[in-house]
Chain A
């Protein structure tokens, strides 16, 4: 099945901004982060379809996953 993965801030360096990705049903968000060679420690926020989520969740077909490092501002 296909999902969309979006990366932000320095996670984009040497990777991509947005990508369609083929995964199987057993794949968790944590697996995707690992496949992208992003250290889980560096991940600040995960959003699935604009809702906060976590590493253990398995995306469904057509989902949009956004991966952010630890960031802040104001």
Chain B
């Protein structure tokens, strides 16, 4: 079955299935969402208006048995940053979309009335239904209700109250195999889905299968690829401690942003660390290892139970724990877990919202360390859309404006995640130059700056950082197109067999003969396509900078500032 483009027009409430244009054929995941957004969305349009489009695309290898290939990309013009945006996540939807024969789902237009809708995608096409029962409900109610409403196992993409209210930190959640949620978190894509009045999308591939051009070669390549992943020690530590293993090492390095980015070490780091979390999960009968989709051989996810042994949250990530923990000075992991669950339910980005809480704490809205206060604000203000709830739900930048705060850690209005760019300078280059606002995953220099994976570059000097960030951003753009979870990158950086095996997989799937150079060129093409969109939307080099306080306020314990000149940052684009 040849892959197709599925198109939904919410203005006319019509749908169509189209052949894939030749120019899109070699793309998947982020490469495809960014190509389509760049081709079809007016860069200056209002992100919540009729001209924006939501583009959903599985990766090139999604739907196959290739290890860790279940990543789904969602793109649009971002309401948070005003730039082009791609956010990706696991869950089951990518695999099911690919098996349904969907190369991309493009949702355009805006409905006229007040009605809400759902979409159902099958190999035959997409149908649009009116929805009333689940409007105003959180994501867990959606997943649970749909589990009863339909007997088949469906992929589900859903928005919570935050998306319905078009908050700029709203995410799109994807159901995982156990009814948990994974989130396309960053950039407010949930608000775009909400603007189009779509509460949820179901995916049913029926008996659809992904065609493999060369099954023998594919099998062989997958064996080599899985082995490279499983053998890498980082993969093993990720299974045991989850991504939260990073709290202690980033704290030790002096780069753990603490108390709204006023310090680089958190006194309570041990109580929120991956080591403590691992022991707590084991004691309470949770699950240390868990996969966000079938076929993951790393299993960085987990199930975290409360003190009574009942599931509290899953997919409990370092970024979320840092943001509510160190950045808001909360040293109680149970409070953080509860807030994590609430944010999953409301459908709001845990990084953006927690950093916004940190700024609100500096403004005196609630005291630093008040974990239960965060939970109360989430439930009573954000979920209900009160004025304060909307200010926080629109992100850290919005809180800074509302309360007149200058220490607002955002780039292109997107909150800076869990690594301080003063003490870990490579990641500062990534934050500044990323086509999508501050985002560590765009070019994860932490691997080389801190973890000594893929070589070593001293985090505290400026030497080599621009080049490091450039190489990683190019590679990441390509990996984000394959449908692979980014955690394959640790093996890819260190093990010479990993990347060739990945390219072999793509070649065997599509009957191609791509080389390593083609993959690098793909990454460069994606970055340039995204940047051209941003330029046409009005962004300039002046936007590729960090907020002023990073240049003027030294960060303890190293007492360092971010001291790159603008011209140095701009050399990032010399490729």
**In the complex, A52→B558 CA distance in Å?**
13
A30 to chain B, nearest CB (A): 16
Closest to B319 in A: A74
Q: Which of A19-27, A40-48, A55-63 contacts B (4 or more CB under 8 A)?
A: A40-48
Bound Cα distance from A73 to B244, whole angstroms: 7
Binds A, one of B15-23, B169-177, B450-458, B498-506: B450-458
User: Is the CB–CB distance between B460 and A51 below 8 Å?
Assistant: yes
Instruction: Classify the interface of chain A: helix, strand, loop or mixed.
Output: mixed
Subset of 15 A-B contacts with CB under 8 Å = A8-B248, A9-B245, A42-B233, A44-B233, A45-B249, A47-B253, A50-B252, A66-B252, A68-B248, A70-B233, A70-B237, A70-B451, A73-B300, A74-B440, A74-B446
CB of A12 closer than 8 Å to a CB of B: yes
A64's nearest neighbour on chain B, judged by CB, is: B252
Residues of B within 8 A of A (CB): 233-234, 237-238, 240-246, 248-249, 252-254, 270, 274-275, 300, 318-319, 440-441, 444, 446-447, 450-453, 456, 458-460, 486-487, 490, 557-558
CA distance A50 to B270 in the complex (A): 16
Structural contact, A47 and B243, CB atoms closer than 8 A: no
**Is the beta-carbon distance between A12 and B456 smaller than 8 angstroms?**
no
CA distance A44 to B446 in the complex (A): 13
Which residue of chain A lies nearest to B450 when distances are taken between CB atoms in the complex? A45
Closest chain A residue to B235, Cβ basis = A72
Are A74 and B245 neighbours in the complex by a CB distance under 8 Å?
no
A71 at the interface (CB under 8 A from B): yes
Minimum C-beta distance from A3 to chain B (A) = 15
User: Which residues of chain A in 21-39 are interfacial with respect to chain B, using CB atoms and an 8 Å cutoff?
Assistant: none
Q: Which of A9, A70, A72 counts the most chain B CB atoms within 10 A?
A: A72
Would A50 and B558 count as touching, CB distance under 8 A?
Answer: yes
What's the Cα separation between A72 and B242 when bound, in Å?
Answer: 9
Roughly how many angstroms separate A51 CA and B461 CA in the complex, as a whole number? 12
Knowing A8-B249, A47-B252, the reply to whether A72 touches B240 (Cβ < 8 A) is: no
Inter-subunit contact A71/B249 (CB<8 Å): yes
List A contacts of B446 (CB < 8 A): 74
**What's the minimum C-beta distance from B404 to chain A, rounded to whole angstroms?**
33
Chain B: minimal CB distance from A25 (Å): 25
Complex partner residue of B318 from A6, A10, A42, A73, CB under 8 angstroms:
A73
Flag if B452 contacts A74 (CB, 8 Å): no
CB-nearest residue of chain A relative to B491? Answer: A72
How many chain A residues touch B (CB < 8 A): the figure is: 21
- Identify 4 new A-B residue pairs, CB closer than 8 A, beyond the known A69-B233, A71-B237, A71-B451: A47-B252, A66-B252, A71-B234, A74-B444
Set A51, A52, A66, A70: member contacting B234, Cβ < 8 A: A70
Known: A45-B450, A74-B441. A68 touches B240 (CB 8 A): no
* Nearest CB of chain A from residue B288's CB, rounded to whole Å: 12
Q: Are A72 and B487 in contact (CB under 8 A)?
A: yes
Known: A70-B233, A72-B234, A73-B244. A50 touches B451 (CB 8 A): no
Chain A residues whose C-beta falls within 8 Å of the C-beta of B487 in the assembled complex:
72, 74
**Which residue from A6, A9, A47 sits with its C-beta under 8 Å from B274?**
A9
A68, B253: Cα distance in complex, Å: 12
B441 touches A52 (CB 8 A): no
- Inter-chain contact A52/B458, CB cutoff 8 Å: yes
Contacting pair A45 B451 (CB below 8 A): yes
A57 and B471 CA atoms in complex are apart in Å by 31
CB distance from B243 to the nearest CB of A (A): 3
- In the assembled complex, the Cα of A66 lies from the Cα of B252 at a distance in Å of 8
| Identity of the chain B residue whose Cβ is nearest the Cβ of A10 in the assembled complex | B240
Q: B440 — nearest CB in chain A belongs to which residue?
A: A74
Say whether B254 contacts A70, CB under 8 Å: no
Q: Are A71 and B253 neighbours in the complex by a CB distance under 8 Å?
A: no
Please determine whether B252 and A72 come into contact, CB atoms closer than 8 angstroms: no
The smallest C-beta distance from B315 to any residue of chain A, in angstroms, reads 13
A10 to chain B minimum Cβ distance, whole angstroms, is 7
Distance of A68 Cα from B453 Cα, bound (Å): 13
Asked if residues A74 and B486 are in contact (CB atoms below 8 Å), the reply is: yes
A44 touches B452 (CB 8 A): yes
Bound: A69/B238 CA distance, A: 12
How far apart sit A66 and B253, CA to CA, in the bound complex (Å)? Answer: 10
Q: For the complex, what is the distance from the CA of A72 to the CA of B440, rounded to whole Å? A: 13
**A71 — which chain B residues lie within 8 A by C-beta?**
233-234, 237-238, 241, 245-246, 249, 451
Residue pair A9, B460 in contact (C-beta under 8 Å): no
What is the CB-to-nearest-CB distance from B269 to chain A, in angstroms, rounded to a whole number?
11
